Amino acid sequence: MREYRSYQKASANKGCLEWKTPGIYRILIVAPTGAGKTVIAMAIVEKARRAGVKKILMVVHRDELKRQVQQYDSDLIVESIQTLVSRETFPDVGLVIVDEAHHYAADKWSRIFDAYPSTRMLGLTATPARADGRGLGGPGRWQRLIVAAQYPELLEAGYLVNCKVIRPEVYQGSNLGKDPVEAYLEHTPGQRGFVYTRYVADAERLKEKFGLKGVTAEVIDGDLALDERAKRIERFKAGETTLLINVHCLTEGVDVPAASVCLLARGCSHSSTYLQMVGRVLRPHPSKKNATLIDLPGVSHIHGMPLDARDYSLESGIKRASGGSGGVKQCPSCGSAFHPAIMRCDNCGFKFAVEPRWKPKVYSLELEERWAGDATPGDVKHREYKRLRKLARAKGWSIGWVVKCYKKLFGTAPCLDDVTEDERMAELGRLLKLARKKGNKPGWAMYLFRETFGSWPVR
């Protein structure tokens, strides 16, 4: 009998309980990268067979996923959605499992729901959202959503590795904060990883530039023949190739745990695409201590850190649990929905009223290092504290500013053992002056002083 993690068993049990509710047939389980969504599906398959269900269909959206699924259970009927829709014949089964279920809001693929109106269906996804803004729920679609686990708990349990983010200080829009080859060689030389670009021509140019620096790279794009794509992926898995440069490919279903670098050399308007891309490098492996996201356009300023907790819903998709999505705007050309700061639609290429950017500008900015809140290694926290202190002294900013910035990054206050008594008194004077300006009592300043230093000022 297969061993299951506690949250895998719990989400499988919740799904089966939901099916006992009259009129509830379609359950969607959200299992982030590393949670093991296929294993959760197998737990439900076991329960279904014990309940007498003999025929079970699993639907995938790529032929190469068939072999992966059948390795788990050879008795499953496994078909691609393209085959089912083109044949217009759907097997008579007692349970339907749909992998990467966020794709099935598309009009053509949603025919799977029409084919099984009262058959129990299980949907699996790491990202329950679509770039076109369509909700996954509604009449005839998914009816219940279950979250198997959150990124922080998977990190804490060791099912994911921590992720260092290298990015510009501010979001760059369609531009890049640094040359991709320079950034890779500076921060992650020799490490295996995925590079994401928008155009095939850009990918080919990057391949040549990496090659001139002695870094082996190959390009994967949607027009590549399946057998050639498989060969390139196998060379990458074997370590013969260091980098795979992707053009709208390899955001789902490709697991190479030894890969530790995700390099974004393109924008990313939707959080689901962002999470899928970074998710390729979050799995643990003996050869790596952590993953690294080299975020050259700075999209993590918009979508959050890769291991942030998320809120999920069938109506609005994915939001950062700590602060929401920051609003949504819609492409007037194709209807895609994305963050207001995005100025070019990922889906159709529509550009909003800004300076035309047929080719992104590449700057030579100093990239900053970010981790996942309080899980950040101590030496990195200390280095960042020293940087903030140095910047505050140069700009004439208060120690309170340093503490505020540090808390925003790591969720806790820094150790202020290097702060002099003169600095403490200067901060108290600044707060008292601010209190008078605002018409507040001195106690207000005393309270803020304690929030900064952890103790009341000495009288």
∠ CA 201-207-209, rounded to 5°: 105
List helix spans (H) across 333-396: 378-395
CA nearest neighbour of 221 among 239, 198, 188: 198
> Over the stretch 147-206, which tens digit does the pLDDT of each residue have?
999 988 898 888 999 888 999 988 888 889 999 999 999 999 999 999 999 889 999 999
Q: With a cut of 70, say whether residue 251 has pLDDT above it.
A: no
Q: With a cut of 50, say whether residue 357 has pLDDT above it.
A: no
CA 147 to chain centre: 15
* Beta strands, E only, 201-279: 217-221, 243-247, 261-264
List of residues 6+ apart from 144 with CB closer than 8 A: 18, 24, 26, 27, 28
Band of residue 326 on the pLDDT scale cut at 50, 70, 90: very low
Q: What is the C-alpha separation between 315 and 321, in angstroms, rounded?
A: 16
> Over the stretch 96-139, which tens digit does the pLDDT of each residue have?
998 888 877 666 778 888 899 999 999 998 888 766 666 788 77
> Over the stretch 33-81, which tens digit does the pLDDT of each residue have?
889 888 999 999 999 999 999 999 998 876 666 777 777 777 888 888 8
Determine which of 141-145, 201-205, 223-227 has the lowest per-residue pLDDT on average: 223-227
Q: What is the C-alpha separation between 80 and 60, in angstroms, rounded?
A: 5
Q: Do domains 6-149 and 154-374 have the same CATH topology?
A: yes
Q: Where are the domains of the chain?
A: 6-149, 154-374, 375-453
Q: With a cut of 70, say whether residue 232 has pLDDT above it.
A: yes
Phi, psi of 378 (to 5 degrees): -60, -40
Number of H helices, E strands in the chain: 15, 17
pLDDT for position 127: 83
Pairing, β 120-125 against β 163-167: unpaired
Band of residue 325 on the pLDDT scale cut at 50, 70, 90: very low
List of residues 6+ apart from 242 with CB closer than 8 A: 190, 191, 192, 193, 210, 215, 216, 217
Q: With a cut of 70, say whether residue 330 has pLDDT above it.
A: no
More confident residue, 243 or 33: 243
Band of residue 453 on the pLDDT scale cut at 50, 70, 90: confident
Determine which of 266-270, 292-296, 358-362 has the lowest per-residue pLDDT on average: 358-362
Q: Compute the average pLDDT of residues 424-438.
A: 87
More confident residue, 87 or 178: 178
CATH topology of domain 154-374: Rossmann fold (3.40.50)
For the domain spanning 6-149, the CATH number is 3.40.50.300
Query: Are the CB atoms for 131 and 346 separated by under 8 Å?
Result: yes
Tokens of 34: 């590393």
